[in-house]
Structure 1
């Protein structure tokens, strides 16, 4: 018989369409909470028989969990020195679980909703200036000979192909603002070169269309041209990963992060830059150029406008410049 926790995880995957990675995160957080309750013997089932009382692990009664138990768990995490961001995430997982139990009629209220989340310091997203962005992109410039080879229909070596791939990754991340996981999941068929758009599967398996700049489209075309080989199997090209590793398999999130780190070091940018920094850079540059915040929200795939509004803090200098020019009393 499946436990309430197992059914909840199935619900997340089947009904809420959460990604496998997100479901694994929920599982890990809730199992830790469950283990804490068992270890501290909080909220165990009442009137257990002698055999059940000695059973390992002891049986929990989720309906007995109250706000005191949830706060005790947060106190335990704080004592272990966990960052507040991790505590907020774990509390969110617990709230979702009890919301599900409440919906299923297994509890009358959600005890975690009565517990306040730890306050997180407001972080201004890291981003690159336009000169820094160009420096990063140029650090992955392929040799000039590759252009003439492509015009003659000559494929490049494997080592040169990886340089083309890396440049295409940098261009696509900056041109579209997509997440690293979204990039790793892209198939060749997701790209429409004629319309210069990319169909992306985001959080909750929701699809959206993002735009591909001319520069990114040309670099990506060049990479795909050089990657194709006459001896390739007849599998439809549309189903192949857009970006592949040395052996032809799909790139992982971690591989993309390593690629970004490599070119950040090569371009001598003295900043901690991640794939997500290019997402922040994309949004900040659009906002600085006068793009509407709701358009940026749509391109980033944010459900809430408040998530996108953090870029207003980044672009405050630009906002002040516009204000000073436009306001008669400025």
Structure 2
């Protein structure tokens, strides 16, 4: 496949993901890389054009991925990306059928999400410093993430107008720009208010216009990116967390687990998390069961 043809296909596919599917920047980046990897495979196999691809070629590519020692999770993502590419080709009438559907995704072992216990989360949030402008901003971010269970990407996209202190609600745009409203607890509201009134103006001073629609800002006054928020979370978790085996997603996992442990309805938690299907939320019921078993084994005299 020529370099020009490859670039054209990738641009069209990326535009399809961006406009039609409202995909995240993460999806845009990784899915286009995965399709590029398949194009490179086509070059090695001497396949000149996409209409020339056969079922056995797709299976050979999947086998090659496995032989290259990619994890099951990575192989599954790459094949999912190619299935999406196949749907795009069908839509554009470049293929008669989606050949990537004929390759089964590798079955992945279920991994229970890491979470902090209620006492650990309380200790973590209480121990956060709140003196400097950066301290207040970081505390507001972490309090808000735990109060709402929103994704890091959703947090970085928040606008100042999305926060309603009077009703203690915040508007969030999830995957596919799907809108949902989330309640915000009083500690998080207090932390966000302290940031907005005392810290945010400090960051705005570096902007010529002295204003921004974004809620969370960096030291230059620009919007915080997903990556910046992840770095902030990792830094603060390392500083005061009870243990180190945690990730930025730990707070979201903790939010869901604590709600279910307290008797919240599974479908309510699904709505709060912005999950499309209930099965994505059900993993937290397994976490709750694991916690019950741990507590039972620890405290029951005849466990």
State the TM-score bracket (shorter-chain normalisation): 0.7 to 0.9
State the match for 1:22 in structure 2: 27
- Of the three residues 230, 240, 244, the one matched with 1:257 is 230
- Stretches of structure 1 that go unaligned for 5 or more consecutive residues are 45-59, 144-159, 322-330
* Deviation (angstroms), 1:12: 1.7
Single out whichever of 96-105 and 218-227 deviates more from structure 2: 96-105
- Of the three residues 152, 162, 173, the one matched with 1:190 is 162
State the match for 2:136 in structure 1: 164
State the match for 1:292 in structure 2: 265
State the match for 1:137 in structure 2: 125
Higher helix share: 2
Partners of 1:84 and 1:246 lie apart in 2 by 40
TM-score computed with the length of structure 2 as normaliser: 0.87
Single out whichever of 172-181 and 222-231 deviates more from structure 2: 222-231
4+ aligned runs moved over 4 Å, structure 1: 228-237, 317-321
Partners of 2:128 and 2:273 lie apart in 1 by 25
Indicate conservation of the 8 Å contact 2:13/2:32, yes or no: no
- Of the three residues 253, 256, 261, the one matched with 1:280 is 253
* Deviation (angstroms), 1:273: 1.8
Partners of 1:217 and 1:121 lie apart in 2 by 39
Indicate conservation of the 8 Å contact 1:179/1:275, yes or no: no
RMSD of Structure 2 on Structure 1 (CA): 2.4
Question: What secondary structure is seen at the aligned counterpart in 1 of 2:136?
Answer: helix
* Deviation (angstroms), 1:65: 1.7
Partners of 1:246 and 1:128 lie apart in 2 by 30
Partners of 1:189 and 1:234 lie apart in 2 by 21
Partners of 2:215 and 2:35 lie apart in 1 by 35
Count of matched residue positions in the alignment of Structure 1 and Structure 2: 287
State the match for 1:72 in structure 2: 60
Indicate conservation of the 8 Å contact 1:124/1:310, yes or no: yes
State the match for 2:191 in structure 1: 219
TM-score computed with the length of structure 1 as normaliser: 0.80
Partners of 1:320 and 1:266 lie apart in 2 by 30
Matched, 1:83 2:71: yes
Question: What secondary structure is seen at the aligned counterpart in 1 of 2:172?
Answer: strand
Question: What secondary structure is seen at the aligned counterpart in 2 of 1:315?
Answer: helix
Question: What secondary structure is seen at the aligned counterpart in 1 of 2:249?
Answer: helix
Partners of 2:266 and 2:197 lie apart in 1 by 36
The 1:97/1:290 distance shift into structure 2, 3 A limit, reads: same
- Of the three residues 141, 149, 154, the one matched with 1:177 is 149
Cα deviation digits, residues 173-231 of structure 1 (max 9, x gap): 10010111111111111101111111111111222111111110011101111025499
